[in-house]
């Protein structure tokens, strides 16, 4: 459908607007999204609603357009226009760019378009979508830098795109953010100290980028963090001592980096850890004798390091351990079956 023809249909639709219809601005935003992402070739899921239709004056809310959720008061008897609160178009084969008109959806709380063929940059207008709490644009081909984002965001998933440049310092304003997934991009530079502002974070995935330098001490301020993945970067130095404050951590993956020194004894304070992966770094020396302090461990990967000495006897006390990988190190001795429940 040509853009001109689509606009003609929209004008007809707007003229016929009545109670229960969406506002003209929100309809314009939907139309712009449809036109800029090759809406005629989207993949629909019949059980999830009806196809978007700008020709027959159907109503996005009343007629349940796929991927659209509206406010709970929306009905034919509504005395005011319906409000669109969610757009979820994961794996719909959207191909194209995100239009600036998305900023007209000022009541939107959720915008998910995971696993499509979106390219270009994220529009600056997203910052005006002040009610947004969840954004998932992962697994697309988006690029450039992330613009400033609405400060009510709780979930942000933009992994596996082509975002570049340094880690966006504007993310430091998202003090309500609980989950951040920005892995699998082309980010460079260091992890900035403003990361310490995100004190509500429970999950952070920044792995598979091109980031470098040392991890900042401010990481220790994320005291409710239970999931941290920073592997497959180029971090160097040692882990900051402040990591001992992350006692809620159950998963820590920071392998495949350039860390140096001995096994980070700061990790022995993280007694809730269930999975610890520090493989393929440059760690040296003997393993600490009190590694049994990590008595909740189920998986321990210290492979491809330069450790020496023998397996600490305290590992035998970790009854939940099912995976122990110390391959490609110089640790001697045989891994006995008495260690945990090794597979």
pLDDT of residue 12: 46
pLDDT of residue 67: 96
Residue 136 CB: number of other CB atoms within 10 A? Answer: 19
d(CA 59, CA 17): 9
d(CA 82, CA 11): 18
- Can you count the helices (H) and strands (E) in the chain? 2, 22
User: CA distances (Å), 166 to each of 174, 196, 222, 292, in order?
Assistant: 17, 17, 21, 38
Q: Look up the pTM and report it.
A: 0.91
d(CA 282, CA 263): 10
CA angle 69-139-133, nearest 5°? 40
Tell me if 112 sits within 8 A of 132, measured CB to CB: no
pLDDT of residue 15: 39
**Which DSSP state fits 148?**
P
Tell me if 315 sits within 8 A of 324, measured CB to CB: yes
Closest CA to 325 of 341, 306, 342: 342
Where the chain has pLDDT below 70, the residues are 1-20, 75-79, 334-341, 343
pLDDT of residue 82: 87
d(CA 74, CA 120): 34
């Amino acid at each position: 459908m040509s853009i001109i023809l689509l606009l003609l249909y929209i004008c007809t639709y707007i003229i016929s607007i009545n109670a229960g219809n969406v506002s003209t601005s929100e309809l314009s935003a939907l139309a712009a999204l449809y036109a800029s992402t090759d809406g005629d070739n989207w993949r629909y899921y019949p059980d999830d609603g009806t196809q978007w239709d700008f020709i027959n004056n159907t109503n996005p809310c009343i007629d349940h357009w796929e991927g659209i959720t509206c406010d709970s008061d929306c009905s034919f008897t509504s005395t005011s226009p319906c409000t669109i609160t969610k757009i979820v178009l994961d794996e719909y084969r959207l191909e194209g760019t995100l239009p600036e008109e998305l900023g007209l959806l000022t009541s939107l709380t959720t915008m998910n378009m995971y696993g499509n063929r979106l390219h270009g940059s994220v529009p600056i207008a997203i910052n005006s979508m002040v009610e947004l709490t969840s954004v998932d644009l992962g697994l697309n081909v988006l690029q450039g830098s992330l613009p400033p984002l609405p400060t009510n965001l709780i979930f942000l998933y933009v992994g596996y795109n082509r975002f570049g440049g340094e880690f966006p310092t504007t993310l430091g304003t998202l003090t309500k953010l609980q989950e951040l997934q920005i892995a699998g991009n082309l980010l460079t530079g260091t992890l900035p100290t403003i990361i310490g502002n995100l004190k509500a974070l429970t999950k952070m995935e920044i792995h598979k980028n091109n980031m470098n330098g040392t991890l900042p001490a401010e990481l220790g301020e994320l005291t409710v963090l239970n999931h941290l993945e920073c592997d497959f970067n180029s971090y160097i130095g040692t882990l900051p001592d402040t990591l001992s404050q992350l006692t809620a951590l159950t998963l820590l993956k920071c392998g495949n980096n350039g860390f140096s020194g001995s096994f980070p004894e700061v990790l022995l304070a993280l007694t809730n850890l269930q999975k610890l992966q520090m493989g393929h770094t440059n760690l040296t020396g003997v393993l600490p004798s009190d590694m049994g302090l990590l008595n909740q461990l189920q998986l321990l990967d210290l492979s491809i390091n330069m450790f020496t000495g023998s397996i600490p006897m305290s590992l035998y006390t970790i009854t939940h351990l099912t995976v122990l990988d110390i391959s490609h190190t110089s640790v001697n001795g045989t891994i006995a079956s008495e260690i945990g429940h090794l597979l």
